[in-house]
Amino acid sequence: MVDFKIKYKNLYNQYNKKLLADHKANFSVLNNNMNYFITYLKLLRDYYLLTDTQAESEDEISLKAATLVAAVGEYEKYESCICKYYKSTGERLIEGTAEEISKKYNDERNFHWTNFWQLVMTNIEGWSVNG
């Protein structure tokens, strides 16, 4: 039990620092607050993974934890899918015309974006810690 309290305190402190930094940054740069929202979803995901006492193995995580893992994963794929198509220098990684590659990239990006929001819409009510 002591080990759990230490892990939870460390988890909470790290996310609290990140959330406060995101909150402060939102006052200096007006943006859509997505970083704050995603950081909060990651906190919930890690909280449920840490507190899931019913799971006897990693394969048996709770529905809340599984949907949070999926949602955060879809967002991260949305953010990083450009790496499949372009190098940081702008050089193309796959064969095809610029328009074809741009279409493939935009299609994949939209796919992950839509999946992320579908997971959020379907599960957000059940994600609250006290819900």
Pick from 51, 76, 91: which residue ends a domain? 51
Instruction: Say yes or no: 87 and 107 in one domain.
Output: yes
Let me know if residue 131 belongs to a domain: no
Domain that holds residue 9: 1-51
Helix (H, G, I), strand (E, B) or coil at 65: helix
**What tokens does 6 get?**
């230490």
How many domains, the chain?
Answer: 2
How many angstroms separate the CA atoms of 131 and 129, rounded? Answer: 6
Record the pTM.
0.83
Asked whether 68 and 45 are in contact (CB, 8 A), the reply is yes
* pLDDT mean across residues, the chain: 88
Asked whether 57 and 21 are in contact (CB, 8 A), the reply is no
Instruction: Say yes or no: 19 and 81 in one domain.
Output: no
**pLDDT for 31-88, tens place per residue?**
778 999 999 999 999 988 888 765 555 555 788 999 999 999 999 999 999 999 988 8
Instruction: Say yes or no: 45 and 72 in one domain.
Output: no
Pick from 51, 68, 83: which residue ends a domain? 51
**pLDDT for 72-95, tens place per residue?**
999 999 999 999 998 888 888 888
